[in-house]
Chains A and B, each alone.
Chain A
Amino acid sequence: MNRTLLSSVLALMAGVIFTSQAAHAEFKQPHAAGIETYGYAWNSPDQDMNRALAHAADASKGEAAYKVCKGCHKPDGSGLADANYPQLAGQHASVIIKQMMDIRAGRRDNPRMYPFSGEWIVSAEEIADIAAYLNKLPPPTTNGKGNGYNLPRGQALYLKDCVSCHGKAGEGDAKKFYPMVAGQHFSYLKRETRESRDHGRRNASPEMVKVLKNYSDADVEAVSDYMSRLKTTR
């Protein structure tokens, strides 16, 4: 028994030594404290974000820097409903900056996008430029929508719980970092709303999580469907 234990310990140690010596590149997204942590404050000051926000953004430079994003989010910023790639055209620059910085810092888990979001490929200033560029693009109306079966329920929930922050037309609030939800893909809205409710979206606003606490899956779907059909006046 002891011998088995000893040999497995030795094997484990050898494994550790071997792994630490191998010059292999492993690039994992960091993990920062989020909503699961006691004392979490939403949108707390962040150096990387402040650098981007302080930058005098240049949309034409952003168009060039956007190249590393458009391989998934498409040249018109419309994303892809089937793949849950969010629609970004017309989104507030502040929102894009905040979400990017949350992913870079590991406050929002996104292993799919993380390799394409770090400072090795885009600087904080370039992120501000990209955000300014995307903000100027017209939001497409061909975004993915839900099945439309439960829109009255979706509308009632939206007007009761969401409108105070995300606005009547789903326009959000640039100054407060609240995203525009109008014209977003239904599949993406559904996933993010559900993840916010279940604490999977770790950079979510605690206020919103409180609101969503008692939402059923059907409620999430209904309100997401309603939001996907909103149109901003821009």
Chain B
Amino acid sequence: MRSLAPKYLTAMTCMAISISFASIVQADDAASKTINIAIEVCAGCHGVDGNSLVPTFPKLAGQQKVYLLRELTDYKTGKRVSETMAPFMESLTLEDLPHLAAYYAKQKPTPGIVSNPSLLGVGKTLYLQGNSKTDVPSCESCHEPDGSGSGKFPRVASQHTEYALDQFRLYATGKRTNGARVMKAVAERMTEEETRAVAEYMASMP
């Protein structure tokens, strides 16, 4: 119970920020319901335009629509589990999700933050070629050479390194259970250092 407390705190902080956003931006009748949801429910953590400022929360701006919809649906149905996301998903209906996915897909992502440029070289090689010694395929084959992703393969360019590293860990330990078969194998085969290098390289891509 003790260990859960910080997560609820985070969630409550996000909610508080969302409410303050909502009072600033008064959506008029013309504004779509989707923008209202984005502002009232999501913006506290993910930013109004999906460019989250908190590095543990993923950037959604410019994300692949198909991927976003799958993730939102999986959160809603419990296939992807997150204590942080759960209370927010409760206020959304399945019908809201395609509109939200389309909204974030249209937003312009801000540049990512590279914290350790010395890892970029290793990261680039891994991203483009993989590591055949440990059967790690290249990342670019699914996520595209520019990191833009396509369809169900998410955009990884300019993503927060903290979020990316969290996902590598969750995949490797079997705790991210949706869409995980491929990425679990990849994450399991990578060293901690390799995941750091790739995360830095992904953040460096515009």
A80 at interface, CB cutoff 8 A: yes
Nearest Cβ on chain B to A82's Cβ, whole angstroms: 6
Residues of A within 8 A of B139 (CB): 71
Known: A115-B181, A116-B137. A85 touches B132 (CB 8 A): yes
Nearest Cβ on chain A to B132's Cβ, whole angstroms: 4
Residues of A within 8 A of B176 (CB): 25
Q: Which one of B81, B137, B177, B181 lies within 8 Å of A71 (CB-CB)?
A: B137
Q: Which one of B133, B137, B140, B177 lies within 8 Å of A25 (CB-CB)?
A: B177
Nearest Cβ on chain B to A64's Cβ, whole angstroms: 9
A1 at interface, CB cutoff 8 A: no
Interface residues on A, range: 20 to 34
Q: Which residue of A lies closest to B81 (CB)?
A: A23
B35 at interface, CB cutoff 8 A: no
Q: Is the CB of B182 within 8 A of A115?
A: yes
Q: Is the CB of A71 within 8 A of B184?
A: no
Which residues of chain B have a CB within 8 Å of any CB of chain A?
81, 130, 132-133, 135, 137-142, 173-177, 179-182, 184-186
Residues of B within 8 A of A26 (CB): 174
Q: Which of B138, B140, B141, B184 has the most CB of A within 10 A?
A: B141
Residues of B within 8 A of A67 (CB): 141-142
Q: Is the CB of A120 within 8 A of B132?
A: no
Nearest Cβ on chain B to A83's Cβ, whole angstroms: 4
Q: Is the CB of B181 within 8 A of A72?
A: no
A26 to B182, CA, bound (A): 12
A85 to B136, CA, bound (A): 12
Per-position binary interface string of chain A over residues 174-191, scored 1 when its CB falls under 8 Å from any chain B CB and 0 otherwise: 000000000000000000
Residues of B within 8 A of A25 (CB): 174-177, 180-181, 184
Residues of B within 8 A of A71 (CB): 130, 137-142
Nearest Cβ on chain B to A63's Cβ, whole angstroms: 12
Q: Which residue of B lies closest to A114 (CB)?
A: B185
Q: Is the CB of A70 within 8 A of B141?
A: yes
A147 to B175, CA, bound (A): 47
A24 to B169, CA, bound (A): 13
Residues of A within 8 A of B182 (CB): 68, 115-116, 120-121
Q: Is the CB of A68 within 8 A of B81?
A: no
Known: A25-B180, A67-B142. 18 other contacts (CB 8 A): A23-B177, A24-B173, A25-B174, A25-B176, A25-B177, A71-B142, A72-B130, A72-B138, A80-B132, A82-B132, A83-B133, A83-B135, A85-B132, A115-B181, A115-B182, A115-B185, A116-B185, A121-B182
Known: A25-B184, A115-B182. A72 touches B137 (CB 8 A): yes
Residues of A16-46 at the interface with B, using a CB-CB cut-off of 8 Å, are 23-27
A115 to B184, CA, bound (A): 8
Residues of A within 8 A of B137 (CB): 71-72, 116
A167 at interface, CB cutoff 8 A: no
Residues of A within 8 A of B135 (CB): 72, 83, 112
